[in-house]
């Protein structure tokens, strides 16, 4: 095992509004303090009672998916918690991932693509 699933992140135009929508479906706490994420106008979270965390990320020029139109596919990425970013990076690259953004300035996350091109993040916990 390389990582733990931390949350599922959905792109959207208004993170706080989408967090409130999912809270109405699932219950939980919007923007519960959590050292893994910095909250902002561009990022909101929903901690559910089951332990699942959903996050909502503002995307510039957001275009919603049109099911099942492949020109407008579903949009989300996964965040995986790891103890050691360097070690986890070596492991995911060996499994076929590609680096999209190696991070700079001591940032606590890095962005990769899975073999099919879907983005995911490794986040130091």
Q: What is the pLDDT of residues 43-78, one digit of tens each?
A: 999 999 999 999 999 999 998 888 889 898 877 888
Report how far residue 43's alpha carbon sits from residue 41's, in angstroms, rounded to the nearest whole number: 6
The 10s digit of each residue's pLDDT in 19-32 is 999 999 999 999 99
Instruction: Quickly list DSSP for 29-41.
Output: EET---TT---BT
CATH topology of domain 4-124: 2,3-Dihydroxybiphenyl 1,2-Dioxygenase; domain 1 (3.10.180)
**pLDDT greater than 90 at residue 12:** yes
- Asked if residues 19 and 40 have their Cβ atoms less than 8 Å apart, the reply is no
Token pair listed for 92: 């995911």
C-alpha angle 24/30/35, rounded to 5°?
A: 155
Residue ranges covered by each domain of the chain: 4-124
Q: Taking the alpha carbons of 109, 112, 114, 120 in that order, is the dihedral positive or negative?
A: positive
């Amino acid at each position: 095992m390389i990582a733990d699933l931390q949350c599922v992140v959905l792109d959207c135009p208004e993170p706080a509004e989408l967090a409130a929508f999912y809270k109405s479906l699932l219950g939980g706490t919007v923007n519960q303090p959590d050292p893994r994420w910095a909250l902002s106008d561009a990022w909101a979270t929903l901690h559910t009672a089951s332990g699942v965390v959903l996050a909502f990320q503002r995307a510039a020029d957001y275009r919603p998916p049109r099911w099942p139109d492949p020109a407008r596919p579903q949009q989300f990425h996964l965040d995986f918690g790891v103890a050691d970013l360097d070690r986890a990076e070596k492991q995911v690259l060996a499994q076929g991932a590609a680096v999209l953004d190696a991070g700079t300035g001591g940032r606590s996350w890095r962005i990769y693509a899975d073999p099919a091109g879907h983005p995911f993040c490794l986040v130091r916990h």
